[in-house]
């Protein structure tokens, strides 16, 4: 996994995401989730492509249920885009790097 | 930047093969995205390089990172660990030491796009889509030839391709357009470009197989309604029953159960066929 992808837990969520300034892309995933695995290489690539501009983080949904409940995550994979700790976008299911980059650029180029 | 497969050294390839076989024999091969754990093992690539660092792949093997991502992507689609091992062995054996495969990613993407374009009658392709195809194909052609391409040109191609996609509704044109927009990255800099294009290409072919089978959104809704009705009628009042809704479907709606089984079989066969085709195309650019 890229050194630019961070692991988030229920315990670290507030410090690393909710109280974090800037743009954070958080991936809710699970080990049993095939589409999550299909999305993983794209997220790694995005993390490297946008290193320094945004943080890409992963949260294991099975092991961190409090954050899943807090954000009403109902399906996997779910990507939440936070800007200054506030959820701005929600993307459910697999997505191409092109489409994901287009969403990110809307915020990073604004 | 020029790469040299296995750094031109047969021993490097032998080391990778030996590691892969050793970890597979110890049941530590877990096909999927790049992963490595010294105790638990890892993905196909992880077992070859004993690392989850894409940079370590290129440093150890002299092979491009796009190939590592594509390899793990294909391995994750194969039905068994034995199949993944055989794929890894075949792949390492197919690459001649000293070959520079940096540009082969673009060659593969061009072949995927051409294959997808062949399924769309030229008369149906909108001018915007045709322009997007030509632009992305040109950039990959330059990349395959070793010509430097500018990130701004790729970004412009992506914007053009997205605009073309968003204006379409026809499934065949949409499939081509989605492949084109996904492919609009430089594989030398974008590790997931080839993998992601293969993924979207496979998805488009699988969707086409579903359309040809005749399964529609209405079938999905109909089946969902029936299964919910069976659950609420028979299973909810008697949770001790050792039955599933699919057992009840066989009993109460045998014709619909038969069609559902055929639909699932069609999906499995279509998935296996597209994986085989993608694998063949990958091997086609390695020689």
Residues A62-80: tens digit of each pLDDT:
999 999 999 999 999 999 9
| Shortest Cα distance, chain B CAs vs residue A5, angstroms | 12
Q: Has residue B192 been placed in a domain?
A: yes
Residues B245 and B198 reside in one and the same domain? no
Please answer yes or no on whether A97 and B185 come within 8 Å at the CB atom. Answer: yes
Put simply, whether A48 touches B (Cβ < 8 Å) is yes
Name residues whose C-beta falls within 8 Å of residue B182's C-beta, 6 or more positions apart in sequence. Answer: A96, A97, A98, B193, B196, B197, B199, B200
Chosen from B37, B56, B65, B196 to mutate, greatest number of chain A CBs within 10 A: B196
Q: What percent of chain B has pLDDT over 90?
A: 95
Kindly determine whether residue B178 and residue A96, on different chains, have CB atoms separated by under 8 Å: yes
* Residues B46-87 pLDDT 10s: 999 999 999 999 999 999 999 999 999 999 999 999 999 999
Q: Which residues of A touch B195 (CB under 8 A)?
A: 41
Sign of the dihedral through C-alpha A27, A33, A36, A40 = positive
Instruction: List the single residue in B52, B162, B191 with the smallest CB-CB distance to A48.
Output: B191
Q: Is residue B99 part of a domain?
A: no
pLDDT of residue A110: 79
The structure tokens listed for A50 are 């946008």
CB contact at 8 A, A102 and B158 = yes
> Which of A2, A10, A18, A33 does the annotation list as catalytic?
A33
Chain segment B262-285, per-residue pLDDT in tens: 999 999 999 999 999 999 999 999
Tell whether B280 is covered by a domain.
no
Q: Nearest CB to A96: which of B72, B76, B196?
A: B196
Give helix then strand counts, H and E, for chain B. Answer: 13, 2
Evaluate whether B151 touches B180 at the Cβ level (below 8 Å). no
Query: CA B51, CA A77: separation in Å to the nearest integer?
Result: 25
- SS3 (DSSP) at A7: strand
Domain co-membership, B25 together with B72: yes
Whether residue B58 lies inside any domain: the answer is yes
Quick one: B87 and B158 in the same domain?
no
Mean per-residue pLDDT, B89-95? 98
- Residue B284 within any structural domain of the chain: no
Among B94, B122, B145, the domain boundary falls at B94
Which token pair is A45? 């690539």
Whether cis (ω within 30° of 0) applies to the bond prior to A77 is yes
Q: Model ipTM?
A: 0.95
- Specify the pairing of strand A55-60 against strand A5-8: parallel
Strand partners, A6: A57
Between the CA of residue A16 and those of A39, A107, B249, B284, what are the distances in Å? 22, 19, 48, 45
Asked whether residue B132 falls in the same domain as residue B196, the answer is yes
Distance from CA of A40 to the nearest CA of B (A): 7
**Which domain-ending residue is among B170, B196, B212?**
B212
| Same domain for B220 and B150 | no
B235 inside domain: yes
Say whether both B233 and B204 belong to one domain.
no
B190 → closest Cβ in A3, A37, A49? A49
Active site residue A68: no
Q: For chain A, list the domains and their CATH numbers.
A: 5-108 (3.40.30.10)
Tokens of B266: 């069609």
For chain B, how many structural domains are there in total? 3
Mode of pairing for the β-strands spanning B41-42 and A5-8: unpaired
Q: Are residues B110 and B184 in the same domain?
A: yes
Contact A45/B181, CB-based, under 8 Å? no
Q: Which of B212, B235, B258 is the last residue of a domain?
A: B212
Q: How many other C-beta atoms lie within 10 A of the C-beta of residue B211?
A: 12
Q: Is residue B69 part of a domain?
A: yes
Specify whether A33 is catalytic.
yes
B118 and B200: one domain? Answer: yes
Q: Are residues B129 and B159 in the same domain?
A: yes
Using CB atoms, pick whichever of B33, B158, B200 lies closest to residue A40.
B33
Nearest CA in chain A to B161: A98
How far is residue B221's CA from residue B228's CA, in Å, rounded to a whole number? 11
Q: Which residues in chain A touch residue B76, judged by CB atoms under 8 angstroms apart?
A: 37-38
Task: Name the pTM for this structure.
Answer: 0.95
A5-8: strand order across its sheet: A5-8, A55-60, A23-29, A78-83, A86-92
How far is residue A59's CA from residue B185's CA, in Å, rounded to a whole number? 27
Residue A1, pLDDT above cutoff 90: no
* Residue B281 domain flag: no
Same domain as B190, residue B127: yes
What CA–CA distance (Å, rounded) separates B20 from B46?
9
Which residues in chain A are closer than 8 Å to B52, comparing Cβ atoms? Answer: 1
Are residues B156 and B188 located together in one domain of the fold?
yes
Looking at the structure, tell me whether residues B70 and B145 fall in a common domain.
no
SS3 percent helix, strand, coil of chain B, rounded to 5, is 70, 0, 30
User: Across chain A, what does the average pLDDT equal?
Assistant: 96
Question: What are the chain B neighbours of A1 within 8 Å (beta carbons)?
Answer: 34-35, 52
pLDDT value of residue B239: 85
pLDDT digit string, tens, across residues A37-47: 999 999 999 99
Q: Range of B226's domain? A: 214-270
Residues in chain B with CB shorter than 8 Å from the CB of A38 are: 73, 76, 199
């Amino acid at each position: 996994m890229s050194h630019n992808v961070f692991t988030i837990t229920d315990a670290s969520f507030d410090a690393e995401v909710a109280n974090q300034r800037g743009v954070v892309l958080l991936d809710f995933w699970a080990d049993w989730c095939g589409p999550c695995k299909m999305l993983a290489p794209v997220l790694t690539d995005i993390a490297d492509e946008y290193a320094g501009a945004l943080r890409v983080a992963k949260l294991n949904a099975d092991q961190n249920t409090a954050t899943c409940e807090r954000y009403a995550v109902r399906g996997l994979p779910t990507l939440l885009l936070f800007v200054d700790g506030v959820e701005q976008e929600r993307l459910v299911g697999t997505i191409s790097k092109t489409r994901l980059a287009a969403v990110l650029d809307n915020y990073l180029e604004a | 930047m020029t790469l040299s497969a296995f750094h031109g050294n047969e021993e490097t390839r032998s080391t990778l093969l030996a590691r892969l076989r050793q970890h597979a024999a110890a049941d530590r091969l877990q096909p999927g995205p790049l992963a490595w754990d010294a105790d638990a093992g890892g993905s196909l690539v992880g077992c070859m390089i004993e690392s989850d660092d894409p940079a370590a792949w290129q440093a150890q093997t002299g092979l491009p990172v796009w190939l590592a991502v594509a390899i793990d992507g294909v391995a994750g689609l194969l039905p068994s660990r034995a199949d993944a091992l055989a794929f890894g062995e075949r792949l390492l054996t197919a690459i001649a030491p000293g070959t520079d495969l940096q540009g082969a990613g673009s060659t593969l993407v061009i072949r995927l796009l051409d294959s997808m374009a062949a399924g769309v009658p030229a008369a149906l392709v909108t001018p915007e889509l045709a322009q997007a195809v030509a632009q992305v194909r040109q950039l990959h052609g330059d990349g395959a030839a070793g010509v430097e391409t500018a990130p701004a040109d790729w970004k412009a191609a992506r914007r053009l391709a997205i605009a073309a996609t968003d204006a379409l509704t026809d499934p065949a044109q949409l499939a081509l357009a989605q492949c084109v927009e996904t492919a609009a990255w430089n594989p030398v800099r974008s590790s997931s470009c080839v993998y992601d294009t293969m993924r979207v290409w496979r998805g488009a072919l699988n969707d086409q197989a579903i359309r040809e089978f005749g399964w529609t959104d209405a079938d999905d809704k109909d089946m969902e309604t029936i299964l919910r009705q069976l659950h609420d009628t028979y299973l909810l009042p008697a949770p001790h029953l050792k039955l599933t809704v699919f057992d009840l479907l066989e009993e109460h709606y045998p014709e619909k159960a038969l069609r559902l089984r055929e639909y699932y079989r069609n999906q499995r066969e279509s998935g296996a066929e597209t994986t085989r085709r993608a694998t063949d195309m990958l091997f086609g650019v390695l020689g």
